[in-house]
A and B are shown apart, each in its own frame.
Chain A
Amino acid sequence: MSGEVVFVLAAAAIFGLGVHGLLTAGHIMRKLLALNLMLSAVFLLLIVVPARIDGLPDPVPQALVLTGIVIAVSTTAFALALMVRLFRRQGHAAIHPDVDPRMLGHVTGRTSAGPQEEHDRGSGSR
């Protein structure tokens, strides 16, 4: 019984660390590490909580965790690849949600005269 409590407390602590990391980290790599920490906590919990005290371990959660690990690995790999792409494009690997170049109406690499300018020019020449 007491062993179970220890595991659950540990899972909670790891999960909390992960949340903290996810929220405060700037670098995407750190955020991914934090997410992986949280995943570990969840898997730990999944194994411990359903375990029957009376005897045989339940195979179902173990199967679930195995699947979960596979998903976590592939997700992490994919996220890392995405991070590398982002790094190549913008020169650093952090998320700046507020700098969205297209929000300003300019597409990268092309400058266009908007209709307003066209219109102004048109009326000026008349």
Chain B
Amino acid sequence: MSAAQQSTAIIHGNTARVLSPAEPSSAQPSKRRTPLALVTSTPRRRRAPFVVFCFLALVGALVTVLVLNISVSSGQYELVQLHAAQAELLKSNQELTQQVQNKEAPQNLVNEASELGMVTSTSVGQINLKNMSVAGTPKPAPAGDKTKSLIAAPSLPNDKPSTGADAAAVPGGPAKAGAPTAAGSADLHGGTIPAPEQKNG
């Protein structure tokens, strides 16, 4: 079997062009060598960029890890700071809630209202919208008839804490009146819900 015959034998399929076996027989060996030479030269050209790529990838990965690390740890600081701010807000929220609850106590409301000159109405009437009639004989409440709550205001520990030195002293007093306003107006700029940034700053 000649080399030419072998080469023709490679061709399969009905679409393949039939080559004349005699014509390229002398040129074939030289054609085989050229691809060999080319193959050896290609890796040499590719190897250098690959190393560079590896190096860059490494540097890139390192930088990424570094940046991630920094951001995580700075995030950690921020987290601690925010936790502190949150705790602080919870505390002031508790304080303000207590104040509201205390003011909402019915006996305190009654006392405040009568301080402001409100009086209890003594007579009631009803308007029937169906037949537009007024039932009862409502009269305006006489002024100056001060309602006084017979129930003592809640004795919250805030109002009268005992101290090591003097039981009569009132540590909670200024907290109730002064502290929230100071914290409130200074830090909240007149608002009601403080933003964490303002507290942090």
**Does chain A bind chain B?**
no
Chain B residues proximal to chain A, CB less than 8 Å: none
